[in-house]
Amino acid sequence: MLRKGKLKATRGRLAILATFENTCGPLSAEEIAQKTKGVDKATVYRSLALLEISGLLRKVDLRKHATYYELQEHHHHHLICQTCGRIEELAACEIETISKKALKESSHFQNITDHSLEFFGTCKSCMK
């Protein structure tokens, strides 16, 4: 993965990527720092920024008081329960239709290079 991102394989970067191997869903920067024992916090935060810039990780906005990251493996969005915090991946993406409409209506933009979309609501378990 690091070669793909044209980055050196440092101990900190390897430790950060390893934290995602056994994890389903996004992790906060703090959770990643706690799971990467032996790597100081400053190195973790610098590495997270670099891994994001290189396209190996992406930030996810969960509307919490922390920055969350996940591996940039496949394109997907999230359903997030505002009651219990459950996160479910959503593979369906009709953004192409919305993007075309947005560009057609825009007087200043010519192209869209990326997007982020999260859905917030209440899961079935919390509705009971």
User: Could you read off the pLDDT of 83-111 as tens digits, one per residue?
Assistant: 998 888 887 777 778 888 899 999 999 99
Q: What is the dihedral of CA 123, 124, 126, 128, to 10 degrees?
A: 160
For the chain, which residues make up each domain, given as ranges?
A: 11-71, 77-127
pLDDT tops 90 at residue 76: no
pLDDT digits (tens, 9 = 90+) for 42-70: 999 999 999 999 989 999 888 888 889 99
Give dist(CA 96, CA 83) in Å, integer: 31
Beta strand segments in 10-107, E: 27-28, 57-60, 68-71, 77-81, 87-90
The pLDDT of residue 107 is: 92
| 11-71 and 77-127 in the same fold | no
User: What is the CATH class of 77-127?
Assistant: alpha beta
Q: In terms of CATH architecture, what is 11-71?
A: Orthogonal Bundle (1.10)
pLDDT digits (tens, 9 = 90+) for 18-30: 998 878 889 999 9
28 CB neighbour count, 10 Å cutoff: 16
